[in-house]
Structure 1
Amino acid sequence: MANERIKDSEIDRLLEIQGITDPDKLTKHMIISLQFADQKTYTEFIEYVKASHLMPFLTTPWLQTLLISLWMNNKDCNGSLCELNCILLDLLFKKANAKEGYFRKGTTFKCLSNTSYIEPQNDILKAIAKAAFHFTFSLKKSLVFSKFELRNYMSEDQLKFCLDAGLLTVLCNNRVSIGSQLMSFQHETVQEFLAALHVANSKMNEIKSLLIEHTYNVLEMSQVIIYLCGLDCGIANELINRLTDGDFFNDMNHALSTYIVHFENKKLEAFNTDYKTIGNIRKSKDGWDNDSRILAVSFLFQRMMIAGFIEAKASGQMDICLKCRDFTFNTYLNESESNALCSLLMYNKSNVRTLILESDKLQISELVTVIQQSSHCLERVKAKVVPEIHRAFNNLKLQELHLIGRLNVQSVFDMLTSMSNVRFLFIEDSTCNEAISIPATLKYFDLKNITCSDVFLQRLLVQLSLLKQFKIVQFEMCDVNVSDCNRSIVQSDPLPMDMSTFHVSIKQSSI
């Protein structure tokens, strides 16, 4: 159609390509067409893409073409999304017959320092980046805008250059005037990268007025933040702080508390979501209670921070100072994500609020270090019990504690006795034959997959029934096997205790 110069009046129907229906098939065809022999294979390419966290690029034809071409020519992007976008921009600037020129080392971001056609047109890059920022951080993110709106940020010549380069494209619409022509970036990810570039080049007080409108919507800007981590981690942290408020992290804290107390009901629902479907967490969503919704946000926030850390490392950032307080290691994370989360944890080891270990990715020495250095702020822990950590738990201000594995009764007795704030205690996959001390502040106590003696159970019930701090104490047992039952130990006369507010739930346990 471009070669034939078909007039708009002659077009009966306009078809717009939105994406790839079968990226695997297209990838295989491209790899075959770009080589004379089968030196490189589709399997090798996919392994590279997964290791470099570039899978999202395979759903867009031109980004996929660029990625395959670079890989076929042995140009490794080291997993840096910022570098890949800069290569793409450099090729587009070259396409528009831009002059050749280079940035001096140390005068710009590392990802731009290896480009060959951007520096002489740096004013154009800054103009289009400013426009991308405003369209991305407007009250409602805009992927389509008018020529008139673009002229607020660039001259007619700069606009023509961007169209010639393919940075911008005109959407065909006969019903609008030339000044109102609708335009867009070639792809949303390019707009987001340019927006991040503008944030990294700007003083935060110059753009804070737009950022205020996006408070609590940090996940909607997740890709911009990930790019910004590769450009400047310090500014990325500041942007995150601007996009969140005290309520955001307070809500996350409450949701994580709900998760550790009722994790069996919350796990699958919270992890099976993504940035696009979660939307604004202040809006209602059918089938989601508020705790589950905010819990999903907390896990997505962690995934965003992991991706940001990986991008910062791949982009050569020297001071990776991303700040996190809540850490959940689970089976949903692949190896590279788990390794990144471990590194992120150690960067924040003195300010950890939540540490949930559902996988064995953390070394015992690392766990002990985090517990010791975050003893002043650690509120909840879920971890396997090993002798090395018993002493580290003493005198902590934990509110929720989930222990997995066989307990050393004396060590646990000392540990629980020293805790003054514990309201939830969960013991799982253990054997309990000796009495343990129950903290007076306890409100919830759960046993799961436990083998215990009848003496342990009787003394435990007596201790729980004597707690007076709360109107209701909830005690749950699931898959509990009481061994060595001896009916003679049961007292014939009832103990002088009030059981009216004591709730017991027993599931799948022995008689």
Structure 2
Amino acid sequence: MKRLYGDNLNQVTISPLNDYKHEKLGNVYMPPKIVHMCEDNGVFKKTKIHVTQYKDVFFKDDKVNPRIFLQGEAGSGKTTFLAKLALEWCRESHVSSASDNSSLFFNDVDVLQSFVFVFYITLRNSVKQFDVYTLSKEQIIDTIYSSQEDREQAYRLLNEIMKRERCLVLLDGLDEWTGPGDHHNLPTLVLEQSQCVLLFSTRPWKLTVVKIMPLDRYTSLHLEGINKPFEFSRIILSCLVDKDELELKYSAFEQYIEKQELGELLLSPMMLSAIVCSYAEGIELKGSKCEIYTLLVESLFKKANSNTCTFQQSPFPCFIRTEYIQPNLEQLNRLAEMAFHLLFVNAKENSLVFNITELKKFKMDERKQQDFVLKSGILSAKLTASTLRSSSSFMFIHKSMQEFLAAYHIACNTNLIDGSISVYLNRHPEAYLDISQVFIFLCGLDVSCAEKLSSMMDERDALDTFHLSYCHKMFNTIVLAGLREANANGYSDIALKLSHFNFNNNNIIDLHKIWENNAANAIVLRVDIDDRKPLENPRISPGNDECASQITFDLHSCLELRRLELSGRCILGKGKYTIRFFCQMCFRYV
């Protein structure tokens, strides 16, 4: 059985789309971030109690937990954690190499040795079977032995072991298990197997439909992701690039994640793998968020429907090389419509967490549709307590995924800009900053829609008074991100609207492109250049000994300009304006 685990569990796929990219689990494993959950009126709630050792998983008050539910969203690392646990029990020496870097986490392997046997069961392979003994026979013994005589002997031995010894049964993927359709809503043990401990892994939505009696003894844990995502990124990257390029590539990767603000996504091993693998293949050079999220949609859809088909004519650049979106286009369109409706039409307090009513509105309450969105992991569900009855509430796997799908829906229905979005911004004048991610995604999907939306957002931004200058700076950053997203998707000519300009060393070149289309609209122009720091991509003016880098602003057409602040060196201007000096600077009037 240990040899079986060594063969079947020690290989992991490091790319969410390419199943042929495998590595040994021990070479790429990073301990997860797990917290205890508490039950309150039938609802599981996360606590601040972190689980860092195996004893915290299996024991409470020095008593063994007979049933343990390890829940986590799609791609959070549940299966990997169970596989690593089984291999640790096997005492496989080669599985500890990577984890030595984080030896403080789950290093009490002796706790696992207190179990005489560990049985690893993949529930999706036996969706109708509920008896744990039968599951173990079919998935373990029948795989080890070929002759019926050997199997019969092993069956009898297995029965005696499960009656007499403390065993651990790992049941992976409860959310993928349907059961026989009778009263059995969980895989079960018979009474004489009471010494066995069951550890289920599942996505949270499954626990909303599983009936756990209040008197049942169990514990619930939540796997939030990876403890040290950047260390894990380096491990994955080392499997994809040449050894002599690793340090340089990893340093550039860290800068890329910071610049694109993708750090939060790295908590999920699935999302991290998608981002690192796309980076290793050169996608980072364009910095397209739309491509990354398209890759994530692909990896999720693949889990529910593995049929493949490419677009004969791709609707968007980021869809060109996709294989799993076209066969699931109907599901994508329904999800996208719902994502948009929740963000822009629903009341704000109901925009992220919603109930079955919203699924019905978009014909996603049917069993087939609901199975797809839950099994793919693009939606998650949890049980909501009520004084009268309990019901399920739903949410997208990540708010940014919901925003990407909403942007896709807008790009497919351009009339929404002048319709629902205009009404939304009029109803919530301050919300122009809240929809920044939708706007950025839209810049990578449909330029004309993005230009129209930027004009609406800029109108709201221009209404802010000067003491709210931080809002202007924030919107400045949002429009810059939109420009870069458009460029990353091959849209070089995009005319975004901006009235308040805040130039510095980090944005001078890209923001100047926006300035060229908006000089007549400019209300505020601030330029703060530190000549001790390099520009992001300095424009060189040959033949000028005084200033090697020059940025020129033509102020002739600035009919709306109300405030001009220049700070730094080598700033050239054209026009008849009084310049307010904040520090020593070289100003040449032309």
TM-score interval, normalised by the smaller of the two chains: 0.5 to 0.7
CA shift, 1:325, in A, is 2.0
Task: Kindly indicate whether the alpha-carbon contact (under 8 Å) linking 1:364 and 1:388 is maintained by their aligned counterparts in 2.
Answer: no
From 390, 396, 402, give the equivalent of 2:581: 402
CA shift, 1:370, in A, is 2.3
CA shift, 1:136, in A, is 2.0
Q: Structure 2: how far apart are the matches of 1:322 and 1:233?
A: 9
From 353, 358, 362, give the equivalent of 1:149: 358
Which one-letter code corresponds to 1:307 in the other structure?
A
Q: Structure 2: how far apart are the matches of 1:407 and 1:50?
A: 32
Question: Would you say 1:186 and 2:393 are equivalent positions?
Answer: no
Tell me: CA distance 1:298–1:159, structure 2 relative to 1, closer, same or farther (3 Å): same
For residue 322 of structure 1, give the secondary structure of its aligned residue in structure 2. Answer: coil
Question: Would you say 1:118 and 2:325 are equivalent positions?
Answer: yes
Question: Would you say 1:339 and 2:509 are equivalent positions?
Answer: yes
Task: Kindly indicate whether the alpha-carbon contact (under 8 Å) linking 2:234 and 2:250 is maintained by their aligned counterparts in 1.
Answer: no
From 439, 447, 450, give the equivalent of 1:225: 439
Question: Would you say 1:161 and 2:364 are equivalent positions?
Answer: no
Which one-letter code corresponds to 2:396 in the other structure?
F
CA shift, 1:168, in A, is 1.1
Question: Would you say 1:319 and 2:493 are equivalent positions?
Answer: yes
Q: Structure 1: how far apart are the matches of 2:330 and 2:375?
A: 16
Per the alignment, residue 267 of structure 2 pairs with 60
Percentage identity across paired residues of the two chains: 26
> More strand per residue: 1 or 2?
2
Question: Would you say 1:139 and 2:347 are equivalent positions?
Answer: yes
- Deviations along 1:288-346, whole A, 9 cap, x unmatched? xxx2xx11111111111111111111011142111112211235xx3xx3322122222
Q: Structure 2: how far apart are the matches of 1:407 and 1:330?
A: 16
CA shift, 1:373, in A, is 3.0
For residue 226 of structure 1, give the secondary structure of its aligned residue in structure 2. Answer: helix
Describe how 1:444-459 pairs up with structure 2 within 5 A.
none
Per the alignment, residue 524 of structure 2 pairs with 354
Describe how 1:249-288 pairs up with structure 2 within 5 A.
249-251=462-464, 254-255=465-466
Task: Kindly indicate whether the alpha-carbon contact (under 8 Å) linking 1:326 and 1:355 is maintained by their aligned counterparts in 2.
Answer: yes
Question: Would you say 1:93 and 2:305 are equivalent positions?
Answer: no
- Deviations along 1:339-386, whole A, 9 cap, x unmatched? 221222223234322221111658699855521232x22222223698
Tell me: CA distance 1:363–1:37, structure 2 relative to 1, closer, same or farther (3 Å): closer
Q: Structure 2: how far apart are the matches of 1:76 and 1:364?
A: 26
Task: Kindly indicate whether the alpha-carbon contact (under 8 Å) linking 2:286 and 2:488 is maintained by their aligned counterparts in 1.
Answer: yes
Which one-letter code corresponds to 2:515 in the other structure?
L
CA shift, 1:388, in A, is 9.2
Task: Kindly indicate whether the alpha-carbon contact (under 8 Å) linking 2:383 and 2:391 is maintained by their aligned counterparts in 1.
Answer: no
Per the alignment, residue 80 of structure 1 pairs with 288
Which deviates more, 337-346 or 219-228? 337-346
From 272, 292, 300, give the equivalent of 2:474: 300
Q: Structure 1: how far apart are the matches of 2:384 and 2:570?
A: 71
Q: Structure 1: how far apart are the matches of 2:405 and 2:568?
A: 48
Cα RMSD, aligned residues only? 3.6
Q: Structure 2: how far apart are the matches of 1:63 and 1:26?
A: 12
Q: Structure 1: how far apart are the matches of 2:563 and 2:241?
A: 58
Tell me: CA distance 1:97–1:228, structure 2 relative to 1, closer, same or farther (3 Å): same
Q: Structure 2: how far apart are the matches of 1:381 and 1:71?
A: 40
Q: Structure 2: how far apart are the matches of 1:295 and 1:387?
A: 25
For residue 217 of structure 1, give the secondary structure of its aligned residue in structure 2. Answer: helix
Q: Structure 1: how far apart are the matches of 2:293 and 2:277?
A: 14
Per the alignment, residue 212 of structure 1 pairs with 426
Tell me: CA distance 1:225–1:389, structure 2 relative to 1, closer, same or farther (3 Å): closer
For residue 220 of structure 1, give the secondary structure of its aligned residue in structure 2. Answer: coil
Task: Kindly indicate whether the alpha-carbon contact (under 8 Å) linking 1:169 and 1:184 is maintained by their aligned counterparts in 2.
Answer: yes
- Deviations along 1:161-196, whole A, 9 cap, x unmatched? 122222112225576999931222111111110011
From 41, 46, 50, give the equivalent of 2:246: 41
Which one-letter code corresponds to 1:349 in the other structure?
A
Describe how 1:427-466 pairs up with structure 2 within 5 A.
none
Per the alignment, residue 15 of structure 1 pairs with 221
- Deviations along 1:197-245, whole A, 9 cap, x unmatched? 1122121244244443332211111111111111123212322444565
For residue 170 of structure 1, give the secondary structure of its aligned residue in structure 2. Answer: strand
Question: Would you say 1:50 and 2:255 are equivalent positions?
Answer: yes
Q: Structure 2: how far apart are the matches of 1:16 and 1:43?
A: 35
Question: Would you say 1:371 and 2:573 are equivalent positions?
Answer: no
Which one-letter code corresponds to 2:338 in the other structure?
A
TM-score, normalising length: structure 2: 0.54
Describe how 1:231-246 pairs up with structure 2 within 5 A.
231-243=445-457, 245=459
Task: Kindly indicate whether the alpha-carbon contact (under 8 Å) linking 1:212 and 1:243 is maintained by their aligned counterparts in 2.
Answer: no
Gaps of 5+ in 2: 1-68, 70-121, 124-170, 175-199, 201-209, 542-549
Which one-letter code corresponds to 1:378 in the other structure?
L
Q: Structure 1: how far apart are the matches of 2:275 and 2:571?
A: 47
